[in-house]
A and B are shown apart, each in its own frame.
Chain A
Amino acid sequence: MNHWLTAPLLIPLFGGLLQIFMTYAPLQLRRTLALATSALTVVAAVILLGLADDGTYRAYALGNWPPPFGIVLVLDRLAALMVFMAALLAFFCHLFSIRGTDEEGDYFHALFLFQIFGLNIAFLTGDLFNLFVAFEVLLIASYGLLMHGRGSKRTVPGLHYVVLNLIGSAMFLIAVGMIYGVTGTLNMADLAVIVPELDAEDVPLVKAGGLLLLVVFGLKAAVLPLCFWLPRAYANATAPVAGLFAVMTKVGIYAILRVYTLIFGDQAGELANLGMDWIFPAALLTIVAGVIGSLGAAGLRTLIAWQVILSVGTLLAAVGLNNMAGTSAALFYLLNTTWLAGGLFLLADLIANQRGTVGDLIVTAPRMHSRPLLGVLFLLGATAIAGLPPLSGFFAKLYILKAAAPGAQMAWLWSIVLIGGFMTLIAFSRAGSIVFWRNVEGHVDNPGKLTLPVSVSAGALIGMTVAIVVLAAPISRYTDATAAQLHEPSGYISILGTKAVKGEGQ
């Protein structure tokens, strides 16, 4: 057993616990410790990435109970990639928060670290019920983070978010109960063994459970009929929180990718490719909804929130292609879109701070103090998210388009993704030209000065798009290998052979 697997869980957990007891400590000390914890999580994520890249599966049996009886953490390429992506995003959003967001409530750092903790359990766990617990951990932290900040504008969107997610949790439990009632196990590897061998009379129950799970994951991922909670919640959250939440929808995508390739993949007998015929059309409709929302957005943050929905649609469309090239393209796009959306949320906050009472609304306002820097970042971000060359969004979308099989699938995917990209371009051009060019004379009195940490964090996340282009070859090699690993579930099943570690006295 490799104890590194617990590092991305234990580091933010202990860091967060420490923060709870430090509310009366000097702010500078709390910030230093919190950021150090975030940075250590990134280090742990990089180490896991290095470990996972040899293509083997590593299992960690918690409490030394061998699978399928105990809960296992499983590290493979996909899990390592997700942990790394989330950790990097979280670090830069955390860095952004020291501008003052963290002073508005005592427990900001603790909640932020618990959020990372919850995300990492979700990515590393190999057990369906533990996935539910991970969702609850990250949700309760996200409830607190979403409500963080002064004023009352977050109350109502927060209420909607909490109620919807509680309904989602109830449905998750029903699905878990149905699957357990038939199969007698919730270990994902064990489920992958049992599901293909089910009796014909048990199949409908597991099918119902599996599709109910798809609804739950769809709610987390904000797929079309379940996406209307997102724009208001994200647009009203404070900037570092909105930036971190860019990864929250990706947890739903990760869960779909994991469960529907491993348990209900090609080899699952009667239940093979369950739900795949739903994912693809729902994803395309989600793209359409994202485009319509982006074009109608009144503020920059709302615009970016709808872009998050659009990116979820694009990602799921690639997953719904259900082939190796599609999965690899989806993972490549995932990195690009998550960091970009996070960076754009941070940037929108910087812009809003320099425009006085108008905030992020796309209307005429006094000129910003730091217009050149903000303008360049906005241009980079918009170009990349719309998918124009030479930035990473272009290559990511190109991979997705290339993965489609010729025929009706290709026609739908190409037309909707390309028209969606064009409309995104229109939405961002409109927003950018009004915000940056249509200005009145003079500046607002109290400009939110750009300090080094905020510029670095927003700039770094948006600059990732350049980094992804430069490192495109190693990244696509990694995502190709990840896709190959995902579509070959026998490797994952091999973790069932994990033995308990014998102590000296035994």
Chain B
Amino acid sequence: MELMFALVIGTLTGSGVYLMMRARTFPVIVGLTLLSYGVNLFLFSSGRLMSGGQPIIGSTENYSDPLPQALVLTAIVIGFAMTAFLVVLSLRSRADTNEDHVDGQREHRRVRPAPDEAEEPRK
């Protein structure tokens, strides 16, 4: 079970990291989602893997650790909220820039005004 679990976490994280390196917002969001799945599974495993364990006293012979479950629950909720916000934000970015490139455009914008424009009004 440990090997299987580790492979799943590795695959999720690896695919997530690969997708986050993409230059368009949609793959980045999917990548972040996959990464957060991987992270949540990892966090869950920090309480040790076992089957049939329960976190309630008196309910079973072998107890599982309740804390990682609580942590994962918190992390999932926060992750959902953040992903939802990111989706809306990237939609807005798509609307504002007519482009779903993460930089808003394919080429880098010229930040500084050309020297002749900047110096012209001097007297």
User: Contact residues of A with B, CB < 8 Å?
Assistant: 129, 133, 136, 140, 143, 147, 152, 155-156, 158-160, 162-163, 166-167, 169-170, 173-174, 176-178, 180-181, 184, 186, 298, 361, 363-365, 438, 440-441
In the complex where A140-B85, A162-B85, A162-B86 touch, is A363 in contact with B113 (Cβ < 8 A)? yes
Summed over the interface, the residue pairs from A and B with CB atoms below 8 Å come to a total of 107
Point out the residues of chain A lying under 8 angstroms from B67, CB to CB. Answer: 180, 186
- Is A176 in contact with B71, judged by CB distance below 8 angstroms? yes
Which single member of B36, B45, B82, B104 contacts A181 (CB below 8 Å)? B45
Shortest CB distance A382–B (Å) = 21
Contact with A along B77-94 (1 / 0, CB 8 A): 011011101100110110
Q: Which partner residue on chain A sits nearest B71 by CB separation? A: A129
Chain B interface bracket (under 10, 10 to 19, 20 to 34, 35 or more): 35 or more
- Is B82 in contact with A166, judged by CB distance below 8 angstroms? yes
- Is B43 in contact with A163, judged by CB distance below 8 angstroms? no
> What are 23 A-to-B residue pairs whose CB atoms are below 8 Å?
A129-B71, A140-B81, A152-B97, A155-B89, A155-B92, A155-B96, A155-B97, A156-B103, A159-B86, A159-B89, A162-B86, A166-B36, A167-B20, A167-B32, A169-B78, A169-B79, A170-B36, A173-B42, A180-B46, A181-B47, A363-B119, A363-B121, A440-B121
Which single member of A147, A152, A163, A180 contacts B28 (CB below 8 Å)? A163
Which single member of A162, A181, A184, A438 contacts B89 (CB below 8 Å)? A162
- Is A155 in contact with B93, judged by CB distance below 8 angstroms? yes
Q: Which partner residue on chain B sits nearest A154 by CB separation? A: B96
Point out the residues of chain B lying under 8 angstroms from A136, CB to CB. Answer: 78, 82
A173 to B39, CA, bound (A): 7
- Is B39 in contact with A170, judged by CB distance below 8 angstroms? yes
- Is A174 in contact with B39, judged by CB distance below 8 angstroms? yes
A363 to B115, CA, bound (A): 10
In the complex where A162-B86, A166-B32 touch, is A173 in contact with B43 (Cβ < 8 A)? yes
Candidate in A143, A159, A169 with the most chain B CB atoms within 10 angstroms = A159
Point out the residues of chain B lying under 8 angstroms from A133, CB to CB. Answer: 74, 78
Shortest CB distance B5–A (Å) = 13
Q: Which partner residue on chain A sits nearest B104 by CB separation? A: A156
Contact with A along B45-81 (1 / 0, CB 8 A): 1111000000000000000010110010011001101
Q: Which partner residue on chain B sits nearest A185 by CB separation? A: B67
A180 to B67, CA, bound (A): 9
Which single member of B20, B42, B104, B121 contacts A364 (CB below 8 Å)? B121
- Is B119 in contact with A364, judged by CB distance below 8 angstroms? yes
- Is A155 in contact with B104, judged by CB distance below 8 angstroms? yes
Q: Which partner residue on chain A sits nearest B118 by CB separation? A: A363
- Is B35 in contact with A170, judged by CB distance below 8 angstroms? yes
Point out the residues of chain A lying under 8 angstroms from B25, CB to CB. Answer: 159
Is the C-beta of B122 less than 8 angstroms from some C-beta in chain A? Answer: yes
- Is B82 in contact with A140, judged by CB distance below 8 angstroms? yes
Point out the residues of chain B lying under 8 angstroms from A364, CB to CB. Answer: 118-119, 121-122
Contact with A along B95-115 (1 / 0, CB 8 A): 011000011100000011100
Q: Which partner residue on chain B sits nearest A302 by CB separation? A: B111
Shortest CB distance B65–A (Å) = 8
- Is B104 in contact with A178, judged by CB distance below 8 angstroms? no
Since A152-B97, A170-B36 are in contact, a sample of 15 more A-B pairs with Cβ atoms closer than 8 Å, ordered by chain A residue number, is A133-B74, A136-B82, A156-B103, A163-B102, A166-B83, A167-B32, A173-B43, A174-B39, A176-B43, A177-B45, A180-B67, A180-B71, A298-B111, A438-B122, A441-B123
